[in-house]
Structure 1
Amino acid sequence: MGRGDLTNAEWDRLESFLPRGGARGGRWSDHRRVINGVLYRVRTGVQWRDLPERFGPWETVYKPHRRWSADGTWAILLSRVQAAEDTEGRIDWDVSVDSTAVRAHQHAAGARKAPPRSSSKGGRHRDEPGRSGAAEAGRPAGGGGQIGECLRRSRGGFTTKIHLVTEGRCRPLALVLTPGHYGDGPQLARVLEQVSVPRAGVGRPRTRPDRLLADKAYTSRQNRRYLRRRGIQHIIPERLDQQRNRQNRGSRGGRPTGFDSELYKKRNTVERAINRLKGFRAVATRYEKRAYIYLGTVTLTALTIWLRT
C-alpha cells in the first residue's frame, strides 16, 4: 500500500457502497486500485499519463473517474457515507458556509463549446451551467463556454470558486462550483439546497441544519428572509453600513439582528475544511477543462475527508 492509498479500514467502509459493475465495460477487475490511482493523482496533481505503473494503464484510472463524475457516483458515495455517520449520531448540525477561489491552470482553458440543449419550450435547459453559471454536487455540468465551465477572470486571475457547507467537525456536506467572479451571498440558497443526508430507514433526507454560521458576505436581507422561511437559526454579523441605515430609519428600521459572538467562533470549521480540501493539489489548482470532472475531483476529496475523519 502506497502513501495516501486507502487503508484496509477505509476500504472496508467504502466497499459496501460501491456499484457492482460499470455501465459499459462490465465489472471492473479491481475497484480499489482504480480509486487509489485517482487519489494519487488528486493528491499529487500529476498528469494522468504520469501515473505510476502500479495503478495500471492511465486510461483505466481516468475513464472511471470521468464516468463517475458525469453520472454522480462520487456524490452518491459521499451521501451514503454521510448517511452512515448521521445514523450513528456523528454529524454536528451546526454548519458553516463559505467559499474559496481556486486558480485555474493554463491547461484548464480551451474547452470546446457544446451546442445549447433545448428544453420542451425551445429555451436552454435550466440545469445547464451556461445558464446558471454553477455546477452542483450530484448534478453533472453540461454545455460549454467559459462561464458554463465555471471559469472566469477575477482579481485572482483565471479562477473557479468553490462554495461549501461544512458540519461542525470540518467535513463538507455540500459543494457548488461557480465562476471565480461570483459573489458569496447570492449562492447561499443554492449551496444550502444541496444539503441532503439520507435517513437510514424510512423518511425524507435531512436537509435543514440546526444552526448556520456565516460571515458578513452573507448578511443580506434576502438571505435572512430565506433562512427564517426555512426555520434555520442563523448567526451572521451585520455590516456597519447596514447598522447605520437601520438606526437612521428609526422604528421603521426594525429590530437588531441577533448575534452570538461566542457561537460565532465556531465558524472556523469551514476555514479548516477548506484547508483540508486544498491539501490535495488537484483541488488547490484546477487542471480540468470540464467543470463536472473538477467537481468530481472535489467531491472525491470530500469523500476521502469523511472516510479519514
Structure 2
Amino acid sequence: MGQRRPWEVDDGLWERIEPLLPKVERRFRHPGRKRLDDRKALCGIMFVLYTAIPWEFLPQELGYGSGMTCWRRLRDWTEAGVWQRLHELLLAELHAAGQLDWSRAAVDGSHVRALKGGPKTGPSPVDRARVGSKHHVITDGTGIPLAATLTGGNRHDVTQLMPLIHAIPAVRGRRGRPRRRPQRLYADRAYDHDKYRKLVRAAGITPLIARRGQEHGSGLGVHRWVVEGAFALLHWFRRLRIRWEIRDDIHEAFLTLGCAIICWRRLKAHSIC
C-alpha cells in the first residue's frame, strides 16, 4: 500500500469527527443527487487547508467532490461548532494521557497577509501597511495550542491577552474539576503592561513578561519558544500562511482545524510511543 497523503483523514481521526457532524436526513420525495459522503468532503477541506488551492480548482479526480460542495460543508460545520468541539475533545484526550503541561503557558501573535480584505483585517505595521490579519495563540508548556483568535493586522498583541486566556476551554479527561488555567504565563515585550499583569494575576495565573528597555537575555525565551514552534506548525498549512478568505469565520475555521490537527498528531505520537 502507498503512503497515506497528509490531507486524507485516517480512521482514528474520523472516529472522533463523525459523531460531531450534524446529521442530514435525505428526502424521500424529490431526493435529488446523492449527497457527497462526509468523509470525502472533509478530505477535500483538508486538501485546501494543506495546499491553499482555490476551491474552484479542487481536482475532481481525487473524488472529494466539487470545491463549492466542500466549501458549503465547511461553512455548515463551522456554524454547527464542529471544529471547536473537535479541538476540545482532543485536548481532553491529551490531558487524560498526561500530555498537557499546565505548569506554564506561552502566548504570541503572528501577522498574515489578507489579500482579499474582509472583517478582522487592517493595515499591518510590519508589512508596509498592507492589509493583513493576526493569528494569536496561547499554548501549554509543550507547544500544544490551547486557544487561538483572529484580529486585524493593526491590533496590538496585548489586546488579545485576556481574550486568549478566557478562550481556553474547560479541559476534561481526568477525575476532578476540568482544567482551564496554566500556573504561569510567558510573553515577550509586546505584552509589557502593568495593567495586564494585574488582570492575569486576577485570573489566577502568574505573569512572566519581558520588560521593554531591558537588554535581551531575560531567560524567558527558553519557555516562550514553544509558541513560536506552534506558529511554525500552523503556518505549515499553506491556507494559514496567507488569508485568502473574505469571511473571517471561514478563516477562523481553518485556524481551529489546524490547532486540532496539531493535537491529533501529538496524540498519535504518544500512542505509538
Tell me how far apart the structure 2 counterparts of residues 272 and 283 of structure 1 sit (CA, whole Å).
15
Cα offset, 1:18, TM superposition = 2.6
Task: Tell whether 2:202 aligns with 1:229.
Answer: yes
Tell me how far apart the structure 2 counterparts of residues 24 and 217 of structure 1 sit (CA, whole Å).
52
User: Where do 1:228-307 residues align within 5 Å?
Assistant: 228-240=201-213, 261-262=218-219, 264-307=221-264
Distance 1:228 1:15, change over 3 A: closer
Deviates more, 1:2-11 or 1:179-188: 2-11
TM-score normalised over the length of structure 1: 0.74
Partner of 1:81: 90
Distance 1:11 1:72, change over 3 A: closer
Partner of 2:271: none
Cα offset, 1:303, TM superposition = 1.0
Partner of 1:211: 184
**8 Å contact 2:112–2:241 — kept in the other structure?**
yes
**8 Å contact 2:135–2:148 — kept in the other structure?**
yes
Aligned structure 1 segments of 4 or more residues deviating by more than 6 angstroms: 23-28
Tell me how far apart the structure 2 counterparts of residues 88 and 3 of structure 1 sit (CA, whole Å).
24
Task: Tell whether 2:9 aligns with 1:6.
Answer: yes
- Relative contact order, CA 8 A, sep 6+: which one is greater? 1
Partner of 1:51: 58
**8 Å contact 1:235–1:264 — kept in the other structure?**
no
Q: How big is each residue's C-alpha offset from its partner over 1:46-74, in whole Å with a ceiling of 9 and x where there is no partner?
A: 11111122102223211110122233221
Tell me how far apart the structure 1 counterparts of residues 240 and 18 of structure 2 sit (CA, whole Å).
26
Partner of 1:30: 37
Q: What RMSD in Å do the two structures reach over aligned CA positions? A: 2.6
TM-score normalised over the length of structure 2: 0.83
Tell me how far apart the structure 2 counterparts of residues 88 and 28 of structure 1 sit (CA, whole Å).
37
SS at match of 1:163: strand
Deviates more, 1:174-183 or 1:80-89: 80-89
Tell me how far apart the structure 1 counterparts of residues 25 and 222 of structure 2 sit (CA, whole Å).
46
> What are structure 1's unaligned runs of at least 5 residues?
110-145, 244-259
> What are structure 2's unaligned runs of at least 5 residues?
267-273
Aligned residues: 251
**8 Å contact 1:288–1:294 — kept in the other structure?**
yes
Over the matched positions of the two proteins, sequence identity in percent amounts to 30
Tell me how far apart the structure 1 counterparts of residues 50 and 124 of structure 2 sit (CA, whole Å).
26
